């Protein structure tokens, strides 16, 4: 089955509907005394009961509508599927923000066909904002078409970035940031990659870069940024991925990639 045989617009409508519902759940059912349910790669890499409930809701709703599809979810949803469609799900992107009650977290759902993301929805349920994108068709914020404007040069650019859960990686990221900071306008750390990528798409920042992102952090937000006109890439001609993700409009993206290559920002202390 290829992308053309699967109606991507139908996949987008399902992604948006389910992301909104999961967003309502994580806001309405957030326990007052929300606790850490478990830790993952490190003591600071946390999961709450609501991450799990949100992912279960997403899997249940999409499976009911499309029983043959596969899943790749942050909290463990993993199913191959037979339809050629795989849903890439981050049930709460920005879990630490969610734990602390910082209103910068999102439900991120992308549909990929033959390994290519064709539709994506990112919902910030606190602000009630929904970013959507359809490959080759465009990106929208609450239904308004997004097209990035010409970005400033690097020294005037507002750049978002993020840090991993492993102290060795954070130390490396701090070194890189120490070199980047004097070369840009300023830096923002929002705490959720999907919202960082959507911020590039709607001009709230000029650029974003981060090392260590997983497919569910990147899938939907990456399509939103790309369809809004940004370039989403890795370094040294590689695709955007765990090594490094850089997103910005041309020609700023070239300047930033050049600087990050110079700084070996994709070298991984955990490798």
Residues of this chain that bind ligand LIP (CB under 6 A): 74, 90, 93-95, 162-165, 192-193, 210, 217
**Who's near 22: CB < 8 A, 6+ residues apart?**
54, 57, 58, 91, 107, 123
Per-residue DSSP letter, 249: -
Rounded least distance, CB 130 to ligand LIP, Å? 18
CA angle 158/146/65 to nearest 5° reads 120
Question: Which CB, 138 or 214, lies closer to ligand LIP?
Answer: 214
Rounded least distance, CB 89 to ligand LIP, Å? 11
Question: Which CB, 3 or 232, lies closer to ligand LIP?
Answer: 232
Burial class (CB in 10 A: 0-12, 13-18, 19+), 118: buried
Rounded least distance, CB 106 to ligand LIP, Å? 9
CA distance readout (Å), 10 to 3, 102, 120, 123, 202: 12, 32, 11, 18, 24
Whether the CB-CB separation of 200 and 158 falls below 8 Å is answered with: no
What residue is closest to ligand LIP based on CB?
Answer: 162
Rounded least distance, CB 158 to ligand LIP, Å? 17
Rounded least distance, CB 145 to ligand LIP, Å? 25
Question: Which CB, 134 or 197, lies closer to ligand LIP?
Answer: 197
Cα–Cα nearest to 251, from 229, 236, 270, 271: 229
Question: Which CB, 137 or 242, lies closer to ligand LIP?
Answer: 242
Question: Which CB, 95 or 112, lies closer to ligand LIP?
Answer: 95
Whether the CB-CB separation of 173 and 211 falls below 8 Å is answered with: yes
């Amino acid at each position: 089955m290829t992308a053309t045989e699967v109606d991507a617009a139908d996949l987008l409508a399902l992604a948006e509907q389910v992301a909104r519902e999961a967003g309502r759940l994580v806001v309405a059912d957030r326990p007052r005394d929300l606790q850490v349910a478990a830790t993952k790669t490190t003591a600071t890499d946390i999961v709450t009961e609501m991450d799990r409930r949100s992912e279960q809701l997403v899997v249940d709703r999409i499976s009911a509508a499309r029983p043959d599809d596969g899943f790749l979810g942050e909290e463990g949803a993993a199913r191959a599927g037979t339809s050629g469609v795989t849903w890439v799900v981050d049930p709460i992107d920005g879990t630490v923000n969610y734990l602390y009650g910082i209103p910068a977290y999102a439900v991120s759902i992308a549909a990929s066909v033959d390994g290519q993301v064709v539709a994506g929805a990112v919902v910030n349920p606190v602000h009630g904002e929904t970013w959507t994108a359809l490959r080759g068709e465009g990106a929208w914020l609450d239904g308004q078409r997004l097209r990035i404007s010409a970005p400033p040069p690097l020294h005037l650019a507002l750049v978002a970035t993020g840090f991993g859960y492993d102290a060795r990686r954070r130390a490396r990221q701090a070194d890189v940031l120490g070199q980047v900071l004097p070369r840009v306008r300023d830096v923002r750390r929002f705490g959720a990659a999907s919202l960082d990528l959507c911020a590039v798409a709607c001009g709230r920042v000029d650029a974003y870069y981060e090392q260590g992102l997983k497919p569910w952090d990147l899938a939907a937000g990456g399509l939103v940024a790309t369809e809004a006109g940004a370039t989403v890439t890795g370094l040294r001609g590689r695709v955007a991925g765990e090594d490094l993700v850089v997103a910005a409009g041309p020609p700023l993206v070239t300047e930033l990639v050049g600087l990050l290559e110079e700084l070996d920002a994709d070298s991984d202390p955990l490798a």
